[in-house]
Amino acid sequence: MATPKRRTPVGKNWIALDAGGTMTDAVVVDAQGQFLVGKFLTNKQNESISFLGAIKDAAATVGGTLRDTLSASEVVVYAGTIMLNTLLSRTGAKVGLMVTQGFEDYLLMEKGEGGWISYPYADRLHTVTHHHAEPTIPRNRVVGVQERLDMFGTLVIPLRVKDVQQKTRELLEAGAESIAVMFLFSHMNPLHEQAAAKIIRKIDKNIPIVLSSAMAPTHKEYTRLASVVAQAYAGERARKHFLQVEARAREEGFNREVSTLLAHGGTVPISTPRLYESYVSGPVGGVLGGHYVGEVIGSGNVVCCDIGGTSFDVGIIRDGLIPIIREPTLLSFRTNIPMIDTKSIGAGMGSELGVHPLTGKLTVGPMSAGSDVGRCLRWPKTTITDCHILLGYLNPKYFLGGDVQLDLDAAIKALEPMAKNFNVETFEFAERAHRLVCDYMREFLVNMLRGRGYEISDYVMMMYGGGGPLGLTDVVEGLEFKDVVTFPFAAVFSAFGVLCAPRRYRYHQSIIAASPAADEAPQRHVKGLAIESINNAWAQLEKRAEDDFKLHGWDFRDAKLSRSAYVRFTNQLSDFEVLWLGERLSSLADLTSLMQRFEAVYTTIYPSQALYSEVGYQILEVALTADIVTPKPKIPELALQGRKPNSAAEKGTRKVYWRGKRQEFRVYEMDPLTAGNVINGPAIIEHPATTMLIPPGHHCELDKRRLIHYRSGQK
């Protein structure tokens, strides 16, 4: 990647920010694709402070100002932790829930896996450790009203208006700050939910109302309910935080609406009705960036790994396709939130160190110091970062380029008693702790790949995040990837990935359609009804997309539409997304072609012997994505400048404890390194936002785009 140009931002900039648990990262891109990067410690009490601080830091690298940068910006995308933090801390709104009479205990019922899916494997084996979390909405704020539709959306029992009026008043008296409405089979017919909303609005003109038919019109009532509750509980409160960020941006010269990144990989303004879809964004941004870089270097198989201060996140791109899951886990619940498939563990470079009370073994995480870093700054407990300072991996005087000074003596005082507890020397303890957290990451990574039947040698590994270049060597130790790549701007790579996202809305709609195996007249009639049902659902989703585009002033004619259907063999429990390249199904032959495409997808997962075509097919859901392509940061090819770094990059040497002994590591500054440079280990490459460790017997090489390739041996 080319070093960002030293210039004052002019013209129309695009800005992306990723607010993590430790750092808020900013990337500023101009119309030519050149970009600046900045970082700021995340302010969890007021994220607008770190929002502006990260942009200001990026602008300062070229002598620019915060106001100049924001006033010259066309788009600001803020991928924050506001939504997730609200859910984790249970600080959301007081929600009143209105359901079909007789289903008031739906939140308590859970699914068979209820409460277990957030547990580690060891705790799943012992029911004594299991407990059910308190429901997000207490029972006194859940009410039932008389109404009923059947599974096809046909009216059975009319909505009782007096019930809605009475129950609305009860919810308001109970302190409800928002009202969620979820009636049975409303995904097939929103009639009763829409009528209930009108009645509620007459009683209270200002209270937020969330309808399941508008948020997630899909089957599986429990996951639909979880999505509606997420929006009512955290979505509207998170919107207030986003508006606070937007207000500060406008004070500094930005005159448009701030956008955010949704879980499925698209960006939308914060006025989107379905803000709950933004609950996870950092890992999503990294996968989008990895996909884009993979396209540039010609690799469709990419493993995207993000090491932050709090977590280790992994996403796998196969054959150039970013996997989307429809029912990801949100806390202890399954939800209907289409999301790019990523997995995480609570192990990062700011993870706490501890001693297990029963086994006496060293523990790492899942708690993290976040922006408080460790005992070396202001965290009361010892962390992995304290180990890195003692080992010499990090320069305590150069954290965030020297803006934050870390205390080596405090780190030593924190580590000494822990080392004594394990009867080892302090340096040895610190190295063991570092290797332990990297072992956790490597094991997690290998299980993800091999558990899917993938060959590690088929994949390019991309490692990023503030701790990515530092943990790289130990995480990939012994793994034969096709290539291992990191970036000069690894610390802000997820924010970079946010800028690779299109403007996008994604919609899902439940239907009931079948395609029998036989081809007699009755079966052809059923197939004709299936074609009609699928086409009608796509048309409805297109209308929703057009309405949402109008809300933001986007031209729907600019949208690239992608249609798909979720197909399964009749009565099987699992279905798979099948893309349809045309606008509509126009004939029985088209329906047959769709089923053939499903079987092609099916046999990439199961052997061909598992095909069950003779029972026919079911389609219970369709989807639509509407994209507007956006400018992406450019990755230009540069002239190779030779293997030897220029003198401006050389910073001398530093004592580093490596594999049981202290030895001299050469130290380089990242930004002066140019395309073609080779750094042989033992060496450290420093950047204000990250540090790369190159051990003895290894080297790294900057290619023609300044991507950093990590390899064994000397060159």
d(CA 78, CA 405): 28
Backbone angles phi, psi at 468, to 5 degrees: -60, -55
Residue 284 identity: V
In this structure, the answer to whether residues 512 and 622 fall within a common structural domain is: yes
Lowest mean pLDDT across 94-98, 221-225, 506-510: 221-225
Task: Tell me what pLDDT residue 583 has.
Answer: 93
Q: Which of 601, 628, 655 is the last residue of a domain?
A: 628
Does 6 have pLDDT greater than 50?
no
- Report yes or no on 294 lying in a domain: no
CATH classification of the domain holding 580 = 3.30.1490
Helices (H), 553-653: 588-602
Tell me which of 628, 660, 691 is where a domain ends: 628
pLDDT in tens, 113-136: 556 665 655 666 666 666 666 778
Q: Which of 575, 597, 628 is the last residue of a domain?
A: 628
The answer, yes or no, to whether residue 288 has pLDDT greater than 70, is yes
What pLDDT, in 10s, does the model give residues 587-618?
999 999 999 999 998 988 788 899 999 999 99
Per-residue three-class SS string for 36-87: EEEEEECCCCCHHHHHHHHHHHHHHCCCCCHHHHHHCEEEEEEECCHHHHHH
Whole-number pLDDT of residue 18: 86
Q: Can you give the CATH number for the domain in which 82 is found?
A: 3.30.420.40
Query: 190 in the Ramachandran plot: left (φ > 0), alpha (ψ -120 to 50) or beta?
Result: alpha
Q: What contacts 24+ positions apart, CB below 8 Å, involve 62-65?
A: 62/4, 62/5, 62/6, 62/7, 62/8, 62/9, 62/36, 63/6, 63/8, 64/8, 64/9
Mean pLDDT over residues 363-390, rounded?
88
Mean predicted confidence (pLDDT) in 669-694: 94
Whether 108 and 180 share a structural domain: yes
* Confidence band for 475, pLDDT divided at 50, 70 and 90: very high
Same domain, 81 and 103: no
The pLDDT of residue 2 is 37
Q: What is the model's pLDDT at position 119?
A: 60
| 479 touches 442 (CB < 8 A) | yes
Section 282-305 average pLDDT: 92
Q: Do 659 and 593 share a structural domain?
A: no
Query: Is residue 285 situated within a structural domain?
Result: no
Whether residue 619 sits in one domain with residue 533:
yes
Which of 96-110, 321-335, 562-576, 624-638 has maximum average pLDDT? 562-576
Tell me 472's DSSP state: H
User: How many residues would you count in the chain?
Assistant: 715
**For position 127, what pLDDT does the model report?**
62
514, 620: one domain: yes
| 90 neighbors 30 (Cβ within 8 angstroms) | no
Sheet bearing 650-658, strands edge to edge: 650-658, 661-669, 683-687, 690-694
Query: Is 702 within the bounds of a domain?
Result: yes
More confident site: 502 or 291: 291
Can you give the three-state secondary structure of 363-389, one letter per residue? Answer: EEEEEECHHHCCCCCCCCCCEHHHHHH
pLDDT band, residue 172 (cuts 50/70/90): very high
* Position 461 in a domain: no
CB within 8 Å of 409: residues ≥ 6 apart: none
C-alpha 212/C-alpha 310 separation (Å) is 33
With respect to residue 540, please indicate whether it lies within any of the assigned structural domains: yes
33 and 114 share one domain: no
Q: Are residues 155 and 193 in the same domain?
A: yes
For residues 633 and 356, give the distance between their C-alpha atoms in angstroms, rounded to a whole number.
46
Instruction: Please report which confidence band the pLDDT of residue 9 belongs to, taking 50, 70 and 90 as the band edges.
Output: very low
What number of helices (H) and strands (E) belong to the chain?
Answer: 18, 34
Q: Is residue 490 part of a domain?
A: no
Residue 367 lies in a domain: no
Task: State the pLDDT confidence band at 234, using cuts at 50, 70 and 90.
Answer: confident
pLDDT at 5: 41
pLDDT per residue as tens digits for the range 643-660: 999 999 999 999 999 999
36, 108: one domain:
no
- Residue 230 in domain: no
The answer to whether the beta carbons of residues 175 and 169 sit under 8 Å apart is no
Residue 599 and residue 509 share a domain: yes
Query: What's the domain count of the chain?
Result: 4
Tokens at 709, concatenated: 């390739």
In a shared domain, residues 117 and 61: no
Helix (H/G/I), strand (E/B), else coil: 27? strand
pLDDT at 681 over 50: yes
Residues 665 and 584 in one domain: no
d(CA 126, CA 112): 16
Give the pairing of strands 324-325 and 339-340: antiparallel
Residues 673, 641: Cα–Cα separation, whole Å: 9
Q: What residues contact 207, with CB distance under 8 A and at least 6 apart? A: 172, 176, 177, 178, 179, 200
Query: Which domain, by its residues, includes 24?
Result: 13-86+240-278
